[in-house]
Amino acid sequence: MIEAARRINAVSEYYFAKKLNEVTEMNAKGLDVISLGIGSPDLPPSKDAIDVLCQSVYKADVHGYQPYAGIPELRKAYAEWYKRWFRVDLDPDTEIQPLIGSKEGILHISLAFLNPGDGVLVPNPGYPTYNSVSTLVEAQIVTYDLKEDNDWQPDFDSLEKMDLTNIKLMWVNYPHMPSGAPATKELYQRLINFGRKHGIVICNDNPYSFILNDNPLSILEIEGAKDICIELNSLSKSQNMPGWRMAMLASNPQFVQWVLKVKSNIDSGQFKPMMLAAAQALQAPKEWYDNMNTVYWERRKIAEEIMKTLNCSFDPKQSGMFLWGKIPPKYKNSEVLADELLYNAKVFIVPGFIFGSNGDNYIRISLCCKDEKLKEALRRIAALRL
């Protein structure tokens, strides 16, 4: 009998893959489910970026294999983007690695730094891929708590009480997903100090800095951060390019080379016209981001009304393309409320338990939905009189 590798049995199918299949089946039956689930921007990239793609794709010399490290134009654009918005100097030749999406980067980093049995600190709540990838590479997952009463930041006193001798890597994500909690320079400094003290690589996943956030920050802004930190960034959210799979990581040259060694044995370079278009997208002026955020602010207002209608509490200072709210105590957990909305109002909202046990009493609304659909979702939910 042929059996799958043990690692396959150690992970479950991605929640969104399963639930969105259910939503698709409901829609096929004519039930018209409104999805406020996944964070896939419905706004387009800049016209300039699309024009570059369309023009360059006709050139005869752009269809071959491309460098594993990306083309120089793209690395240079990433470096200029970081300098302009994050005040960080990066050497485009040695300190930047383009990626086919930041989810790919999570895998490559894990393969580059974690041996089977090595420990990895994973936030609870946090992006589920940190857990699943750590499981697939046979690392030992050690969760650390993020709580609302601590602004969704690590409790460093609790971390210091853990046995950290086997920990090699720590995942952090600010602005935080799912809570929308912003980063601070003080937090980044504490993370760097913690990593230095214990020899732990700090990996900051930073795709949400430009969404409903007036103060984009990078952990690499802090002096000495490159020695112990890796930062992931993505154009999926900031440039409305989720399907393009354009992302990057930045760190010191040695860390970048280790990741490239893994990556070059797994995949090939990205399509050159897409890299040229991404380089153009990274040159977007402040007005472009402002216009995008004007749309998100209008949607956010409607999402807040949905939360209020559900008697959920939320922090109005949160940023990012989601709204995270605490459910009322009459519900056993977030899945109960989410299923009630799906089956009775035909509105799909994400239950917070999928991000970890500390998210069990929360729900998340995506802002990647037209105003009209958000208003219809509000109408349907209000009609339930919960």
Q: Look at residue 306 and tell me if it is in a domain.
A: yes
Q: List all residues 6 or more positions away from 312 whose beta carbon is below 8 Å from its beta carbon.
A: 325, 326, 327, 328, 363
CB 112 within 8 A of CB 259: yes
Q: Look at residue 264 and tell me if it is in a domain.
A: yes
> Does 213 lie in the same domain as 70?
yes
Average pLDDT, the chain: 95
Q: Name the domain count of the chain.
A: 2
Q: List all residues 6 or more positions away from 27 whose beta carbon is below 8 Å from its beta carbon.
A: 33
pLDDT tens digits, 293-309: 999 999 999 999 999 99
What are 324's strand-pairing partners?
364
What range defines the domain where residue 308 resides?
Answer: 6-44+286-384
> Does 294 lie in the same domain as 153?
no
Could you tell me the CATH number of the domain that includes residue 122?
3.40.640.10
Write down the pLDDT at residue 14: 65
% of the chain beyond a pLDDT of 90:
91
Over residues 352-371, mean pLDDT: 96
Write down the pLDDT at residue 12: 72
Write down the pLDDT at residue 128: 93
The 3-state DSSP class for residue 203 equals: strand
| Residue 13: pLDDT band with limits 50, 70, 90 | low
Write down the pLDDT at residue 3: 86
pLDDT tens digits, 263-289: 999 998 999 999 999 999 999 999 999
* Range scoring the smallest mean pLDDT among 25-34, 105-114, 166-175, 243-252: 25-34
Q: How far apart are CA 208 and CA 251, in angstroms?
A: 19
Over residues 137-156, mean pLDDT: 97
Higher pLDDT, 37 or 123: 123
> Does 119 lie in the same domain as 252?
yes
> Does 304 lie in the same domain as 367?
yes
Backbone torsion region of residue 300, taken as left when φ is above 0, otherwise alpha when ψ lies between -120 and 50, otherwise beta: alpha
Q: Which of 245, 261, 281 is the last residue of a domain?
A: 281
Overall pTM surpassing 0.85 (yes/no):
yes
> Does 162 lie in the same domain as 250?
yes
> Does 346 lie in the same domain as 218?
no
Write down the pLDDT at residue 288: 95
What are 205's strand-pairing partners?
232
Q: Look at residue 168 and tell me if it is in a domain.
A: yes
pLDDT tens digits, 93-130: 999 999 999 999 999 999 999 999 999 999 999 999 99
